[in-house]
Amino acid sequence: MKRILLILSVAIVLPIAVQAQQIAYINYQEVMEVMPELKVVQSKIDTLTQQYEGEFLKMRQEYDNKVKEFQDGEKTMPESIKEMKYREIMDLQQRIELFQQNIQQELQTKQREYMAPVLEKLKKAIEEVGKENNYLYILDSNAILYLDETNAVNAKDLVKKKLGL
């Protein structure tokens, strides 16, 4: 009788223990890098960056010209004109610095905006793979401090398949 109870308890506990080990990992960044949507996002960001760089270069050229003009004529300029030109240069320098800050903020905002659907698609694929394969967890391999890859399940190929990659 004790033997039957022991066999029954092992039969009940064993599937639970096996199920508890349903943990997989994925290199999130690696999968995202092969998604075609990422190339579209990068292209949009590159185009926007080039537009801003063009405007920045114009402002920088104007600044360099004003500084050169100021330096060339500084010795012969009346003090009032010298002061006025100096203020113009300083104002332009401040506008350039503000423009650079605004560019950085705008690019970060646009990148977040463009990446949101890509990240959502990847997250959905990971969730679907998790449900289909009865994983309790799918962890990002970059955040795991220890991983025995010989006994762990790498879900990268399943997620890539789910994304059609």
Whether the per-residue pLDDT at 7 is higher than 90: the answer is no
Strand-by-strand arrangement of the 23-26 sheet: 137-140, 23-26, 153-154
For 23-162, the fitting CATH number among 1.10.150, 3.30.910, 3.10.290, 3.40.190 is 3.30.910
* Arithmetic mean of pLDDT, 122-136: 91
* CA–CA gap between residue 107 and residue 122 (Å, rounded): 22
Q: For 20-53, what is each residue's pLDDT tens digit?
A: 458 888 998 999 999 999 999 999 999 999 999 9
pTM above 0.75, yes or no: no
Domain extent listing, the chain: 23-162
